[in-house]
């Protein structure tokens, strides 16, 4: 940092050197729960500090976009009947009315009621969504809730084999309630579509299997543990989410 003094004030000129991301190491386990190797994790994905405001904004926006309105009321134009004027305009001593389907009449339309055609979609910037995803991954990594498995594969869908894998992984320190947790236990990511793996875990209602490219902040917040299968192939897909937004912004 260079400091240049003048008569009136002091100007501080910061160097424009970019800080290179620091790499971290994580243990990769086999299906039997034994240490297989170590993998390098980028700090710009797993070493970010927590920003609750950003994560909350992204999460609530995504939930709002997924909302499907069900409640629906009819306005005065949609209620059947009411075509005839109830009584003549003048001379009756009563207030004038043009339709019995007015909102102030019993059986009339509803004013400002819920409508199923209302759009609750909220825009989320891609860079914000990617940043929130990385912050959640960083928080789970610091809490020891992320496990890296070298490979998850089955020749055919077998729930028994999937259970054996989970029991073996639950013996690792910090993941003892992997199987015993009753709700929202594990979110398993695989590098590519694999119906044998998905069907093998489909009978466990506390687990969810999906491709790593579909990972989003809501799924990470919903499940306690995250298992990343074949991290050498999957992690570049996660790191590429923010890089893709940068390339789009420069075009």
54 and 95 together in one domain: no
136 and 203 together in one domain: yes
Q: What is the CATH classification number for the domain harbouring 194?
A: 3.40.1370.10
63 and 74 together in one domain: no
Q: Give the model's pLDDT for residue 245.
A: 62
Q: Give the model's pLDDT for residue 241.
A: 79
pLDDT digits (tens, 9 = 90+) for 98-157: 999 999 999 999 999 999 999 999 999 999 999 999 999 999 999 999 999 998 888 899
Given a cut of 70, the residues of the chain with pLDDT beneath it are 1-23, 244-251
147 and 238 together in one domain: yes
For residue 164, count other CB atoms closer than 10 A to its CB.
13
75 and 161 together in one domain: no
Q: Give the model's pLDDT for residue 15.
A: 43
**Taking the CA atoms of the chain, what radius of gyration do you get in angstroms?**
29
The answer as to whether 110 is a domain residue is yes
Q: Give the model's pLDDT for residue 250.
A: 55
110 and 32 together in one domain: no
Last residue of a domain, one of 100, 119, 138: 119
The answer as to whether 4 is a domain residue is no
Q: Give the model's pLDDT for residue 71.
A: 94
Tell me the pTM: 0.78
Longest pairwise C-alpha distance within the chain: 94
Annotate the chain with three-state secondary structure. Answer: CEEEECCCCEEEECCCCCCCCCEEEEEEECCCCCEEEEEEEEHHHHCCCCCHHHHHHHHHHHHHHCCCCCCCCCCCCCCCCCCCCCCCCCCCCCCCCCCCCCCCCCCCCCCCCCCCCCCCCCCCCHHHHHHHHHHHHHHHHHHCCEEEECCCCCCCCCHHHHHHHHHHHCCCCCCCCCCCCCCCCEEEEECCCCHHHHHHHCCCCCEEEEEHHHCCHHHHHHCCEEEEECHHHHHHHHHHHHHHHHHHHHC
Last residue of a domain, one of 119, 152, 181: 119
Q: Give the model's pLDDT for residue 244.
A: 61
Whole-number Å distance between alpha carbons of 33 and 149: 9
The answer as to whether 5 is a domain residue is no
Q: Note down the domain range covering 78.
A: 70-119
Q: Give CA separation, 14 vs 2, 11, 19, 22, 36, in Å.
A: 7, 10, 13, 21, 44
Q: Give the model's pLDDT for residue 240.
A: 83
Q: Give the model's pLDDT for residue 1.
A: 45
Q: Give the model's pLDDT for residue 251.
A: 53
49 and 82 together in one domain: no
Q: Give the model's pLDDT for residue 153.
A: 87
Whole-number Å distance between alpha carbons of 221 and 223: 6
Q: Give the model's pLDDT for residue 25.
A: 87
45 and 167 together in one domain: yes
The answer as to whether 115 is a domain residue is yes
Count structural domains, the chain.
2
For residue 128, count other CB atoms closer than 10 A to its CB.
17
Whole-number Å distance between alpha carbons of 137 and 124: 19
């Amino acid at each position: 940092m260079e400091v240049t003094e003048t008569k009136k004030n002091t100007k501080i000129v910061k160097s424009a050197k970019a800080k290179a991301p620091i790499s971290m190491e994580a243990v990769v386990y086999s299906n039997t729960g034994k240490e297989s190797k170590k993998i390098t994790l980028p700090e710009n994905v797993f070493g970010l500090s927590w920003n609750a405001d950003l994560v909350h904004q992204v999460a609530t926006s995504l939930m709002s976009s997924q909302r499907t309105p069900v409640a629906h009321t009819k306005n005065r134009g949609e209620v059947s009947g009411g075509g005839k004027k109830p009584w003549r305009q003048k001379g009756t001593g009563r207030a004038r009315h043009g339709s019995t389907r007015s909102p102030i009449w019993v059986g009339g339309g509803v004013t400002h009621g819920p409508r199923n055609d209302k759009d609750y979609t909220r825009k989320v910037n891609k860079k914000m969504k990617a940043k929130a995803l990385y912050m959640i991954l960083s928080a789970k990594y610091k809490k020891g809730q992320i496990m890296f498995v070298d490979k998850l594969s089955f020749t055919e869908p077998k729930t028994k084999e999937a259970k054996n894998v989970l029991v073996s992984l639950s013996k690792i320190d910090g993941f003892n309630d992997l199987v015993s947790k009753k709700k929202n236990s594990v979110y398993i990511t695989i590098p590519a579509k694999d119906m044998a793996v998905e069907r093998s875990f489909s009978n466990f209602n506390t687990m969810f299997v999906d491709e790593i490219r579909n990972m989003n902040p809501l799924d990470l917040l919903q499940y306690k543990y995250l298992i990343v299968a074949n991290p050498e192939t999957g992690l570049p897909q996660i790191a590429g989410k923010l890089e893709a937004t940068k390339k789009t912004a420069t075009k």
